[in-house]
Amino acid sequence: MSSPLFTEQQVIAAGETVGVSLNSAQAQGVLAYMSGLAKWNKVYNLTAIRDDHEVWTHHVMDCLAVIQPIRERYPTLSQTLDVGSGGGLPGIVLAIAGVSKRVSCIDAVAKKVAFINQMSATFQGLPTELDGIHCRVEKWRGSYDLITSRAFASLPDFVAWTRHLLAEGGVWMAMKGKMPDQEMSASS
């Protein structure tokens, strides 16, 4: 974004519409993320959506909308894993909002992980640690309270490929856009 389409105050107000209180540093983090995504998307295919307003409505607001329900149900998250993170969605937005102490974004594509790690370096002063992991999720080891994905795989594959990473009492959150009734039936 050569000229900012959104101000800090607009980001804070937009967060409030979905029940999320963002402070000044977090709003600046969202703006830095959107700027970085626009810049990197010119060279690398991080996300198919390139229009700044659509990035805002289809990506950032979509990710902000899940924060309040996460905080209400799981107020003490320690480790979050975003699987197939791509351009850092929802992981980077969750990290900016501080939903857990650490957010790790895993992707099998090195350039996408490089972007996530570049963004992490720009978010000094935020309460959440953010890191990108270049690996196939099936081969990764760890223990996570929340494992999330957004447009990553079918629900049965998502669960099967990450079951070994889910901490006792942990939860999965698959952001599918529409209610995946058929996938849910296949997962049962």
Report the 10 Å Cβ neighbour count for 81.
29
Q: Does a cis peptide bond (omega within 30 degrees of 0) precede residue 156?
A: no
Residue 181, pLDDT score: 53
Helix (H, G, I), strand (E, B) or coil at 109: coil
CB neighbour list of residue 77: distance below 8 Å, 6 or more residues apart: 70, 99, 100, 101, 145, 146
Name residues whose C-beta falls within 8 Å of residue 97's C-beta, 6 or more positions apart in sequence: 20, 22, 26, 64, 67
- Of how many residues is the chain composed? 188
Q: Could you tell me the residue ranges of all domains in the chain?
A: 8-187
d(CA 69, CA 26): 18
What is the model's pLDDT at position 142? 97
Q: Given this model, what pLDDT does residue 178 score?
A: 54
Q: What was the pLDDT predicted at 3?
A: 41
- pLDDT tens per residue across all 188 residues of the chain: 334 578 999 999 999 999 999 999 999 999 999 999 999 999 998 988 888 888 998 899 999 999 999 999 999 999 999 999 999 999 999 999 999 999 999 999 999 999 999 999 988 777 789 999 999 999 999 999 999 999 889 999 999 999 999 999 999 999 986 544 555 455 55
pTM over 0.85: yes
CATH number of 8-187: 3.40.50.150
Q: Which of 162, 114, 165 is nearest to 174 (CA)?
A: 162
